[in-house]
A and B are shown apart, each in its own frame.
Chain A
Amino acid sequence: MVPYEYYVALSGLLMVLGLIGIAVRRNIIALLISTELMLNAVNIAFVAFDMKLGDVGGQVFVFFILTIAAAEAAVGLGLIMAIYRLRRDVDTETLTELKH
């Protein structure tokens, strides 16, 4: 069996990838995908710790995170639709009007 540390390392890697995505991507859909990636990284971490502890609490928490990720994605896609309808654009460089 794969030791749990490997899963934790994987989840940390995915988390960092998500953070890098938030920092460098300019497409608003990619930004939303990055936040979802981070939430899924957390799910992997919870299941891995669950395996280590032999407890079910972490698995229950994963369900909560899945629900919240779905709600957040729904709101985010709604906002992306509204932004696209007003501007016909998905690039943060050209979309940003609120500065300083």
Chain B
Amino acid sequence: MSVLQEIVAGLGVPNFKVLIPEIIILITAFIVFVIELLTKARLLITVVTAIGLFLAAIPTLNMEYGDLTFYGLYIVDSFSLTFKFFLILSTFFVVIVLRPYLEAKNTYYGEYYYLILFSLLGMMMMVSAPNLITFYMGIELASISIYILAGMFKKDYLSKEGAFKYLILGGTGTAVISYGIALIYGRTGSFDFVTIANTITSDNLDVGAVAGIAILIIGLALKASSVPFHFWTPDAYQGAPTPITAFMAVAAKISVFAVILRIMVEAFPFAYEVWNTGWALLAAASMIFGNFVALRQDNVKRMLAYSSIAHSGYILAALAAPSGAAFTALIFYSLVYIFMGLGGFIFLSAMERQYNWSNNINDFRGLAKRSPILALFMLIFMFSMLGIPPTVGFFGKLGVFIALINSDIWWLAVVLVVMSIVSAGYYLRVVIYMYMHEPQSKAKVNLSVGEAFTLAFMAVFVLILGIYPTVFWDISQILSSLLVAGIGR
């Protein structure tokens, strides 16, 4: 036997079967790279990307056996597969609305497509990380791709400025996260979640471990754009091309929430009092600040950026309670946020292509008379973000609220309800402008097939899930019980 064969025999071959979605995404990214280099055929690039995403989504749904592979560095379980499916789904919708927007704004580059795929790959690595190294590599692959995506608006200064702010603050977040990892490594001698959880118990929790966890939480809060580490969010969201904003606000956020949940529950179950308090404070600050600042925005894109900070608050509030119900609420809210978030931002991306549209609140005047169906879709998204019953946003907030009350965290539950009422101020303002004002222009609204399909799909899903949330609720419940059971793995 040669040396190489001996090494392979000694190490064993990783189980590549469970990595099929990631492998398909990676291969698609390289194929798109080559097509972009050789042909510049725009429709072909979109179609190849969409087909790649579709093919990658199939194995996430019908994979029967997960595994802990790559020598314990990569875990494929129901939790990661579910999130991978929804990440691929949201990326698919971003990809099909991207080309009309870029062509209308005269900023088309083929690079958008494979950078989105690389970023998606990073997010998929993140949600299936059982180890701090995998998590760190995933979050960096996703972030660095998004820095480029956010700044790629041709000859547009605001895009560059937003991307640069994101890069500096995201880089700070990276450094802070890795410093937290260093402290935890210094205390436990391991990067593995389970080993960390086994090394420290609540009895021998010392300053070093608490400092490491606190610093890691600060870094993660920065990536999840929670107040007071949110400064990059509105600027980067406003400057980026709107479909990319949708990608940042939905896919990137969801993967960060998933990884936060997994790290907190699997790696630090012993310190739940520390991270409960930490996330409760961050969530309350995000809800209060995000909603009040969103009230004074006239630019609807920036208003939705602040509202996404507020939604981070609602989702992270679930981490204040260390119970299965709270984790269920977090997973459920993250999954349904995909539909409202994508709906809201892709609505803006479709409208920005219309004549004389600048995302200002005045542009919404009389939209119901120009295009009743589009106005109805926006109404549904706004009601869902606000949390009015026939839409799914209501059940998201209800889940978090009940979980908080069951754990006797009344103050946060009260903040959540009061801030939801405050948020009516700016969500309903959009609705009022659409329905109760006279239109300024009579120009028809033209949508591409992809945009019309995406908006209709999101609106219908928000309503269906609002009437019948059981399916998603059951999925979330199963995932959270598996996650809790996995602590003693």
**A86 close to B (CB within 8 Å):** yes
Enumerate chain B residues within 8 angstroms of A48, measured Cβ to Cβ. 186
**With A31-B168, A57-B190, A72-B144 in contact, is A39–B175 under 8 Å at CB?**
yes
Are B144 and A42 in contact, CB atoms less than 8 angstroms apart? no
Residues of B within 8 A of A8 (CB): 186
Residues of the A chain whose Cβ atoms lie less than 8 Å from the Cβ of B144: 68, 71-72, 75
Q: In chain B between 158 and 196, which residues have their CB closer than 8 angstroms to a CB of chain A?
A: 158, 160-165, 167-168, 171-172, 174-176, 178-179, 181-183, 185-186, 189-191
- 8 Å CB contacts to A: which residues of B329-344? none
Q: Is the interface of A mostly helix, strand, loop or mixed?
A: helix
Q: B160–A79 contact, CB under 8 A?
A: yes
Q: Roughly how many angstroms separate A8 CA and B207 CA in the complex, as a whole number?
A: 15
Beta-carbon contact of A98 and B167 below 8 Å? no
Instruction: Establish whether residues B157 and A18, one from each chain, have CB atoms under 8 Å apart when the complex forms.
Output: no
CB nearest neighbor in B for A44: B182
Q: How far, in angstroms, from A2 to B182 measured CA to CA in the complex?
A: 19
Query: Is B155 close to A, CB under 8 A?
Result: yes
Select one of A32, A46, A100 contacting B168, CB under 8 A.
A32
Please name the residue on chain A nearest to B150 by beta carbon. Answer: A79
Residues of B within 8 A of A72 (CB): 140, 144, 147, 167, 171, 174
Q: Is B136 an interface residue (CB 8 A)?
A: yes
Asked if B477 is at the interface (CB within 8 A of a chain A CB), the reply is no
Interface code B120-148, partner A: CB below 8 Å = 1, 0 otherwise?
Answer: 00000000000001001100100010011
Check: A10 CB closer than 8 A to any chain B CB: no
A97: B residues at CB distance < 8 A: 157-158, 161
**CB within 8 Å of B: which of A26-43?**
28, 31-32, 35, 38-39, 41-42
Asked if A49 and B186 sit within 8 Å, CB to CB, the answer is: yes
Q: Is B21 an interface residue (CB 8 A)?
A: no
Residues of A within 8 A of B160 (CB): 79, 82-83, 86
Partner of B158, one of A38, A41, A65, A98: A98
Inside 8 A of A75's CB, which chain B residues have their CB?
144, 147-148, 167
Among A48, A87, A97, max chain B CB count under 10 A is at A97
Q: In this complex, what residue of B is CB-closest to A8?
A: B186
Q: Hey, which chain A residues are within 8 Å of B176, CB to CB?
A: 38
> Cβ of B164 and Cβ of A28 under 8 Å apart?
yes
Determine how close the nearest CB of chain A comes to the CB of B44; give it in whole angstroms.
27
With most chain A CB atoms within 10 A of its CB, the pick from B171, B172, B185 is B171
| A87-B157 in contact given A18-B175, A41-B179 (Cβ < 8 Å) | yes
A53 at the interface (CB under 8 A from B): yes
Contact check: which of B136, B175, B181, B293 meets A38 at CB < 8 Å? B175
- Rounded to whole Å, the gap between the CB of B301 and the closest CB of chain A is 11
Q: Which residues of B contact A46 (CB under 8 A)?
A: 182, 185
* B231-239, B279-287, B465-473 - the one binding chain A: B231-239
| Cβ B174 vs Cβ A68 within 8 A | yes
The listed residue (A41, A45, A95) touching B186 by CB distance below 8 A is A45
Q: Is B172's CB under 8 angstroms from A35's CB?
A: yes
Given A49-B185, A68-B140, CB of A98 within 8 Å of CB of B168:
no
Closest to A22 in B: B172
Which chain A residues (68-86) contact chain B, with CB distance < 8 Å? 68, 71-72, 75-76, 78-80, 82-83, 86
Q: In residues 32-85 of chain B, which contact A (Cβ within 8 Å)?
A: none
Q: Are B161 and A55 in contact (CB under 8 A)?
A: no
- Asked whether any CB of chain A lies closer than 8 Å to the CB of B151, the reply is yes
Which A residue's beta carbon lies closest to that of B132? A61
- Are the CB atoms of A98 and B191 closer together than 8 Å? no
Query: B-side interface residues toward A, CB under 8 Å?
Result: 133, 136-137, 140, 144, 147-148, 151, 155, 157-158, 160-165, 167-168, 171-172, 174-176, 178-179, 181-183, 185-186, 189-191, 234-235, 238-239, 293, 296
By Cβ-Cβ distance, the 10 closest A-B pairs, closest first, are A38-B175, A49-B186, A35-B171, A45-B182, A98-B235, A42-B178, A53-B189, A79-B164, A68-B140, A86-B157
